[in-house]
Amino acid sequence: MFVPRSLKVKRNADDDLSCTAKIKKLSSGEPSLVEATDLRDVKPTIKDASASGCNLYKAVQECTELQTFPDSDFPFADESLGSDNQNVDEDSSSVEPIKSFSKSQRWAEPGEPICVVCGRYGEYICDKTDEDVCSLECKAKHLLQAQEKEGLNSDSLVKVESKPETLLPVTLYTYKEHSFILSLQDDQIKNLKLQLGIVVQGKGVTRPIIEFEHCGFPETLNYNLKNSGYEVPTPIQMQMIPVGLLGRDIVASADTGSGKTAAFLLPVIIKALEETKTPSALILTPTRELAIQIERQAKELMIGLPNMRTVLLVGGLPLPPQLHRLKQTVKVIIATPGRLLDILKQSAVQLHDIKIVVVDEDKKLFKPPVLVFVDCKLGADLLSDAVHKITGLQCISMHSDKSQSERTNILQGLFQEKYEVVVSTGVLGRGLDLVNVKLVVNFDMPSSMDEYVHQVGRAGRLGHSGTAITFINNNSKKLFWDVVKRVKPTGTILPPQLLNSPYLHDQKRKEQQKVKQSQNSLVTGDNLMDIIRKHDKSNSQK
Ligand code: AMP
């Protein structure tokens, strides 16, 4: 598709005669343009166009689909076919036509999408390749280049033709257990799960599939699966896909490389296909690399499926092109949390209608920040800088010299997982419920046990387990015995240097003496006479 889909919704079919299939044939030898502007009216047809002088000649169901042309002499596009996607929210009367020629497109402003062919403003997206293009002319060139790149020749037309027709309109999909799966005995299913290491919890969990065919997917999707080399489902896919197709909430866990991505993508694709509202699915993932990988896989599986478009919302890449794309009626968002929040703050994009949400957990997504305690502000700044420089981790220091707004930002960043390490003085030690801190490092041992207990208590809140690593040296020697008493009962292995420290033994001895003394000062039947005698003796000495 070439025109933002929302335009078709906004545009009144009555006042737009172009909303019917049009096939303009140019004079012999000239390239042909096939335009189809209303998906309901046009049946997909693919013809070998060699006889008509063009490489590929195809009417598709979507708006203004354009195929390859032999040279840059591009046929005239009907200027009324589409609209400038910048105006998607405006009245249809004000929408601009799609630019036919590269030369009528303006140059891109910094941060704007750039046409992959001519470098002008990449106002549109080529649905086939998902690349930004500026005009119909550049789209045609781009498609031609893409085909050349893939080494497509006339043989490949046969290949294209052999591809199953896209189902349009998409018939409502309902997952039904395949007759083969139904025919299996409970014991056989149990055995299968055992063999494949499939463990399930929850009520009425459907049986796993054994082949992708058991899902009853649309032919296009089956074709894409085969094309991507997915011959048989992996165990996580066997169990997760049917459960996902039934629309149940799932928490799934499997090793890296076990096919989890396709396990959640396939139900997402099927569900998103049926959804008319856009965007309809959100996939949240911890890192940009993972998001890119997921999008690539999603696109591979979505080829030829109608009205499916993805957007990648990730940090580290310019934001305007992502926002631009998001506004073009995308079905599936693949995002990292930080960039998604930035985009939501900056734009009026609503995510209320999203019914399908996948959190591709990866350990990093919920990777809790490390909280490091030091004993002075300068120490916090220096250590934070040093950790960042050496490890590349996102670090920030926190202390009483930070303004209120800085503190708020740091805390927000902490919850949004913007920071991986926070180096703080005692200011973060108390009161704050950093639920997601898993690791506390007492780089400098605090001066009192009370403070120490609060600091280590930042890890493992609300019944979660956590870890504290405490650096201890002779500066806090007066606390040695107290630390040991407090920490030993938790089963922690303490360093021999601490356990053998003379300070510790001294403190221990003194404490035991004190206990003895206090025990001695207690009056019991046994020591009563001793106490009286002692008392008399001291009085007579006076
Ligand atoms: P993942 O665990 O999702 O990262 O997948 C690891 C790799 O396995 C990816 O390259 C997938 O494309 C591939 N893959 C996933 N499912 C299958 C399958 N059923 N058959 C063959 N390859 C697969």
The model's pLDDT over 35-62, given as tens digits with 9 standing for 90+, comes to 222 222 222 222 222 222 222 222 222 2
Q: State if residue 234 touches ligand 1 by the CB under 6 angstroms criterion.
A: yes
pLDDT tens digits for range 146-180: 888 776 444 433 333 345 444 444 568 899 999 99
**Is 230 near ligand 1, meaning CB less than 6 Å away?**
yes
CA 227 – ligand 1 centroid, Å:
13
421 Cβ neighbours under 8 A, 6+ residues apart: 369, 370, 372, 384, 387, 388, 393, 394, 395, 396
Confidence (pLDDT) at 396? 93
Q: Ligand 1 centre from 225 Cα, in Å?
A: 11
Residue located nearest, by CA, to atom 18 of ligand 1: 230
Pocket test residue of 261, 292, 297, 362 for ligand 1, highest count of atoms within 8 A of CB: 261
- In this structure, the dihedral spanned by the alpha carbons of residues 192, 197, 198 and 199, taken in order and rounded to 10 degrees, is 120
**Integer distance in angstroms from the first to the last C-alpha of the chain?**
108
Give me ligand 1 centre to Cα 303, in Å.
17
75 exposure class (CB count in 10 Å sphere: 0-12, 13-18, 19+): buried
Residue 324: the pLDDT is: 87
Give the helix/strand (H/E) hosting 35.
strand 33-35
Ligand 1 centroid – CA 228 distance (Å): 9
DSSP state of 331: S
- pTM equals 0.50
Cα of 257 from ligand 1 centre, angstroms: 6
The proportion of the chain whose per-residue pLDDT surpasses 70, expressed as a percent, equals: 74
- Cβ proximity of 30 and 111 under 8 Å: no
- Give the residue among 60, 71, 81 at the shortest CA–CA distance from 18: 81
- Each residue's pLDDT tens digit, 95-133: 577 888 888 899 888 777 889 899 888 888 887 787 888
Given a cut of 60, whether residue 530 has pLDDT beyond it is yes
CB 451 within 8 A of CB 464: no
> Ligand 1 centroid vs 260 CA: distance in angstroms?
7
Instruction: Return the exposure string of 8-31: e unless at least 16 CB atoms fall within 10 Å of the residue's CB, then b.
Output: bebbeeeebebbebbeeebeeebb
How many CB atoms within 10 Å of residue 450?
A: 10
The token pair at 369 is: 């920040």
Mean pLDDT of the chain: 74
380 — pLDDT class (breaks 50, 70, 90): very high
Residue 358: pLDDT band by 50, 70, 90 thresholds? confident
Predicted local distance difference test score (pLDDT) of residue 159: 37
Give, using CA atoms, the residue closest to atom 5 of ligand 1.
259
Helices and strands counted in the chain (H then E): 19, 15
| Residue 384: pLDDT over 70 | yes
Return the ligand 1 atom nearest residue 254 CA.
Answer: 2
Higher pLDDT, 44 or 321: 321
Give residue 429's pLDDT band: very low, low, confident or very high (50, 70, 90).
low
Going by C-alpha positions, the residue among 25, 18, 157 that lies closest to residue 95 is: 18
Closest Cα to atom 22 of ligand 1: 230
Are β-strands 56-59 and 45-48 bridged in parallel, bridged antiparallel, or unpaired?
antiparallel
**What is the per-residue pLDDT for 231?**
92
323 touches ligand 1 (CB under 6 Å): no
Least Cα distance to 313 among 304, 305, 323 occurs for: 323
